[in-house]
Amino acid sequence: MINKKTKKSISTRLIRQLREWHRRLGIFAAFFLIFLSLSGIALNHTTLFSLSHQSISNSWLLSHYGIKAPTDVRFYQQKNWLVTDQLVWLNDKLVFESDETVISLAKFQSYILLATRSQLVIFTETGDIVEQLDSSSDLPAAISALSITADNIVLNTADGYYQSDSDLMAWQKIQTFVEPSWISNEPASQSELTVAQRQFQSQFLNWERVILDAHSGRLFGDFGVWFMDMVAFILILLSISGIYIWLRYSKSKR
C-alpha cells in the first residue's frame, strides 16, 4: 500500500517533470505562437495594410506557386507601353486585359491605338480607355498589322488593306503598290525583358494570399499543414499542463 509520503513524492516528481517539458515545449511553441498572432492580426486588417494590392515579385515565391513567365513580351512608344501576353501596361500600371492576342500599338494624333485581331482600342496618353471599336463599328476583321499615317491608319487584314478616315469612323478597302510601314515593337535588353516578365507574374500573387497560406501551413504543402496541426496540438498540451501545474501548486499552498 502506497503511503501518503510516497504518494506525495511521486506527485512531486511528476510535477517537476511536467514543468520541465512544459518549459521546453513552451520555448519551441513561443516562436510559432508569435508568428500566428502577427499573421492573424495582418489577415484581420488586410484593407488597412493593403495586402491584397501589394503584388509579389520574389522569384522563389513566384516559382513556388507555379506562376509562369509570359511567352510574349513587347515594348512600344519609347518602352513606356508594354504588352505581356494579353495584358497591356503603361509603365508599371495595368491598363487593359485583352481577350485575344495583341497585334500592335501606336500613337495616332493625341491618342494611343491598340489593335487586336478583332478590336481597335483607343487610349488617352495617360492610359484611360476612350473607346473600343469592333465589327459593330464596321471595323475590318482578322487584323494582322497596323500602320499609321498623318491623318489615318491602315490595317492589314485577311481580306486586304483597309484605310480609315481621320475620325476612325469609316473604313475603305485600298490597293497600294508600296507596302505600308507596319508598326513593330521596340527591341529590348535581356534585363528589361526579365523585369517585364516579373511584372507580369507579380499580378497573380499578393501578400494576403502568401500570409494566409503561411498562417495555415499551406505555403509548404501537406507537410506544412501537418506541421501547423502539430504546433496547434502542442499549444493545447501547454494549456492543459499549465492549468494542471497551477491547480497542483494552488492546492499545495493551502
Q: Are residues 246 and 170 in the same domain?
A: no
Q: Are residues 139 and 235 in the same domain?
A: no
Q: Are residues 175 and 109 in the same domain?
A: yes
Average pLDDT of every residue of the chain: 84
- Decide if 155 contacts 162 (C-beta within 8 A): yes
Q: Are residues 117 and 24 in the same domain?
A: no
DSSP bridge pairs for 89: 82, 94
For cell 516579373, the residue is 198
- Decide if 154 contacts 174 (C-beta within 8 A): yes
Q: What span, in angstroms and rounded, lies between the C-alpha atoms of 148 and 133?
A: 17
Q: Are residues 133 and 82 in the same domain?
A: yes
Q: Are residues 45 and 118 in the same domain?
A: no
120-123 and 129-133 strand pairing: antiparallel
The domain in which residue 21 lies consists of 7-54+206-253
Q: pLDDT for 202-240, tens place per residue?
A: 888 888 998 888 888 888 888 888 888 888 887 887 777
With H, G, I as helix, E, B as strand and everything else as coil, classify residue 116.
strand
Q: Are residues 230 and 180 in the same domain?
A: no
Q: Are residues 225 and 174 in the same domain?
A: no
- Give a yes or no: residue 2 inside a domain: no
Q: Are residues 67 and 176 in the same domain?
A: yes
Q: What is the pLDDT of residue 219?
A: 82
Q: Are residues 210 and 249 in the same domain?
A: yes
Q: pLDDT for 120-162, tens place per residue?
A: 999 999 999 999 998 888 888 899 999 988 778 899 998 899 9
Residue 217: left if φ>0, alpha if ψ -120 to 50, beta else—which one? left
Q: Are residues 189 and 134 in the same domain?
A: yes
- Give a yes or no: residue 1 inside a domain: no
Number of domains in the chain: 2
Q: What is the pTM of this model?
A: 0.67
Q: Are residues 166 and 240 in the same domain?
A: no
